[in-house]
Structure 1
């Protein structure tokens, strides 16, 4: 049985075996198999992968980070009224997926915590007000809500946010 308690999370590179990853959601599988490396090369997003010490080239989970701006009218009034009247900088956790064989071992939680920590570290160098996630379905939405994410009024179904000052 694979030990998922001490994952190594690093930037996707050519040594990682992408084709064996299967989370069960074709769009997330196909992204990693076919698009992720191109997005990294084009500086569209950064892709971070989780591997185990026993199999450092086998991906058991991944997430993507990029940037975006949030319009004030998407934020709850109680937050928006305290902010300047222009778009607010944010980090987008665009995708987060766990291989089917690694489900139920806390891999998703570890990936999310790593993404938040990585974003907090960058926010010391560049302004980032919040982390945004696009939950793929209700189950994913519930997962993010457990970590304090709240629904945005963005017109994007299941788009949630977490102000970094609340972390």
Structure 2
């Protein structure tokens, strides 16, 4: 992909060619092709699509956002001791995928930055303590850790970045 500077990130709509998307991970391909529109309609998650100005219907990458609560015992002890004794609100970056042809071009980083910006924007309206991600594999975990995400105590693939640290 050479038009990275012309990347557009917007909500999923009926114009996007979901069937043609392939990132090389079957569960992520299946999600955008078969499940994403249903999750949108049911208000389970919001799906944001990256495409280019030249090909606005072609999906270059995508991510999902939804909400969750984090139990205090899942947070690192140094964070948990500073918080009230009840679950804290968070945003969940449930999936992030980049098409095979766009991998290695910075699209993943741009999608992550967009997710962080959206989370920060909504945090001025509703309380959000952190952005949580589910790393699909070790490479994804390293990607998120490079941007300051740290593992939660209970699940090795679940990481978080407090909004205060952004």
Query: Deviations for 1:36-61, whole angstroms, at most 9, x for unmatched residues?
Result: 00000000000000000110010000
2:29 maps to what in 1?
A: 29
1:101-140 superposed Cα distances (whole Å, 9 cap, x missing partner): 0111100000000000000000000000000000000100
Counterpart position of 1:159 = 158
Specify the alignment match of 1:145 in structure 2.
145
RMSD of aligned residue pairs (Cα, Å):
0.8
What TM-score results when the alignment is normalised by the length of structure 2?
Answer: 0.98
Match of 2:105, SS state, is coil
Instruction: For residue 77 of structure 1, report the CA deviation from its aligned partner.
Output: 1.0
Instruction: Structure 2: state its 5+ residue gaps.
Output: none
Q: How many residues align?
A: 166
Alignment correspondent of 1:84: 84
Instruction: Give runs of ≥4 in structure 1 deviating > 4 Å.
Output: none
- Give the aligned partner of residue 64 of structure 1: 64
Question: What is the CA-CA distance between 1:157 and the residue it aligns to?
Answer: 3.2
Q: Which residue of 2 aligns with 1:104?
A: 104
**Distance between the aligned counterparts of 1:146 and 1:121, measured in 2?**
23
Could you tell me which residue of structure 2 aligns to residue 45 of structure 1?
A: 45
Deviation at 1:33, TM superposition (A): 0.1
1:16 CA displacement: 0.6
Mapped to 2, the partners of 1:35 and 1:5 lie a distance apart of 29
For 1:84, what is the secondary structure of its paired residue?
coil
